[in-house]
A and B are shown apart, each in its own frame.
Chain A
């Protein structure tokens, strides 16, 4: 079954605005990761947050994790046209620890210049 569900499915914003994407999951996890996929390309890892962490930053990215609500958010600040891509959350479930990541359905972000 699908572990991660992302919201919204699509997001369109203007350059300079912030973009927030949400991810919900069902089972207990070791960690949650966010990936980015440019059109026609493979997925690229952005950031990993462990189950005992609540917030993590990397450049213009901020990720939060709420294990009680089984949800995570990815915030991209001061967005740029080059941020246009699909963003996926992926969970490493406790029961299958380290053996696989289960991906959400992705959010298509469009940043208009």
Chain B
């Protein structure tokens, strides 16, 4: 079956603009995660969804970042008034349950460049 897909694969934007990043999880997966990865580094947790609700938003770096999930499926991560330090690869992952030791299936990521 299809894996996790993300769009766009690359996004170049100007400082101050808003961007929306999309994640399509694996069908039937109830848990969805967003991470941020700076160049060649480990992953920084941003937010976790269980169904349409987000019980853990602790990783969002500022109020410019928000995310929503509708229909228990597609999720969008929105960054308002982008800054150069927002440049990174944004990864989405899904899991069949919200249990932390379950395997997380990752998408290929969206590379965001803020000029």
**A and B physically associate:** no
Interface positions of B (Cβ within 8 A of A): none
